[in-house]
Amino acid sequence: MDESFLLMLSNLLHLHNTLDPTTSLLSSPSSSSVSSPSLSSPSPSSLLTSSSAAPLLFFTLASLLSFLASSKPRNHNPNTTTNTTNPSDEPPTDNSAPPDNAAYSVAAFRALSTEHIWSLEAPLRDAQWRSLYGLSYPVFTTVVDKLKPHITASNLSLPSDYAVAMVLSRLAHGFSAKTIATRYSLEPYLISKITNMVTRLLATKLYPEFIKIPISRRRLIETTQAFEEITSLPNMCGAIDGSPIKVHRLPTDQSGVNLYKCQYGYPSVLLQVVADHKKVFWDVCVKAPGSTDDATHFRESLLYNRLVSGDVVWEKVINVRGHHVRPYIVGDWCYPLLSFLMAPFSPNGTGTPAQNLFDGMLMKGRSVVVEAIGLLKGRWKILQDLNVGLNHVPQTIVACCVLHNLCQVAREPEPEIWKEPDENGRPPVMLESEKSFHYFGDGLRQALADDLHQRLSSR
């Protein structure tokens, strides 16, 4: 009940007792005490036979005030957005605006997603939708259409579009389950359940469609030509890098805590991605705790096993100074030098002029994956401080990668890039099983460096 109505009702009680002390609206004088707060209705005969007009006046005014209180318009503005990105359940600080729960209510979502959404100009509509759910309305409907059959089959009591919107708002703003539960008037356990279901569907059902190795000749030619325009290096088809994803919930034993502590000092799991020239991921791996180095994580990945076994077949082959060069990916000095993975000659520019030129161009190509990871964490802020159960961490990260690709393919506006700390890892030790790949890669790298130096020097 409205607090202002209760205050006016209290004042009327005092006014009645002043005008007609012979007729009490309370059952007994003790009924107003804290220990016995119950109210009882006075008998109709006592009110009607009272010599004063106070009872009738009281109920007339009370009825009027009750009507006004119930018909008082509430603040409901579905266009209002929130800039809160605090993932904890702490109340906002004094210099922060209180969260606008109306923007996340069922009624607000329905109003925004039905008749209201079409009354807006497309740029305004998509900007408003993006501020709430991290992506534009057309991309949102694409996600809903692809997940709806699976969500419907789960017998979820919420509509599919509302469930997806709720999870996207959590991923985009980094809210905890408790914060989302407050905003959506649901129980935290239900928020966690819905989040786990939607992220699992994204990571399994949509992954094969939106995260693919560039096998087809058309896509391979487009990718290698684009990288060559950036770096002047031929047949480069991707850039690989790892990034720690900070997590909240860890094993209680000390050995488990140390296992998840990354080189920057916070608990994390390691994300490995390969990106193309459009900053679209074509491979994602989340298998290792934060203390794992990039080379070990790569060697444990499915991509490494497929490349070593020859399962990935790239038909595009060129000849460089007598070397058959198949498409390859590039990484920094934390990755092993292999026939299908080019790493720099040195991390500090101590090579020959040709080698230093090659390193500079290689790192220029590698910059696309660094920017892609920065966009991923900038767009889906939950990855800046992941607040889900440890068992659901991998699928949540992969789900965000799928959504990142959707946004990149749809050419969504790129958010401010999340800046990663500079890496300070060491070059990995060559494994016995990698010797042939390493020696072939070493000769290939030198041939690419000499060819690049000759071509650029003759211009």
What pLDDT score was predicted for residue 375? 97
- How much is the mean pLDDT over the chain? 80
For the cut 80, the answer to whether the pLDDT of residue 7 exceeds it is: no
Kindly indicate the confidence band of residue 307, based on its pLDDT and cuts at 50, 70 and 90: very high
Instruction: Supply the DSSP string of 115-157, one letter for each residue.
Output: TTGGGS-HHHHHHHHHHHHSS-HHHHHHHHHHHHHHHHHTT-S
As given in the structure block, the two tokens for residue 350 are 């101590």
Mean of pLDDT values over 137-143: 93
- 203: CB partners within 8 A, 6+ apart: 394, 395, 396, 398, 399, 402
What pLDDT score was predicted for residue 254? 67
For the cut 60, the answer to whether the pLDDT of residue 195 exceeds it is: yes
What pLDDT score was predicted for residue 286? 97
Mean of pLDDT values over 22-41: 38
pLDDT tens-digit map of 386-421 = 999 999 999 999 999 999 999 999 999 999 898 877
The single-letter DSSP state of residue 290 is T
For the cut 60, the answer to whether the pLDDT of residue 426 exceeds it is: yes
- 23: CB partners within 8 A, 6+ apart: 16, 42, 46, 47, 50, 52, 54, 55
For the cut 90, the answer to whether the pLDDT of residue 211 exceeds it is: yes
Lowest mean pLDDT among 19-28, 194-203, 278-287, 327-336: 19-28
What pLDDT score was predicted for residue 313? 80
For residues 112 and 127, the model is more confident at: 127
Q: Where does residue 156 rank: exposed (0-12), middle (13-18), buried (19+ CB within 10 A)?
A: middle
- The phi and psi torsions of 329 (rounded to 5 degrees) equal -110, 165
Residue 360 to residues 211, 231, 275, 295, 332, Cα–Cα distance (Å):
28, 9, 18, 21, 11
pLDDT tens-digit map of 59-102 = 455 454 444 544 444 443 433 333 333 333 333 333 333 345 55
For the cut 90, the answer to whether the pLDDT of residue 459 exceeds it is: no
pLDDT tens-digit map of 369-384 = 999 999 999 999 999 9
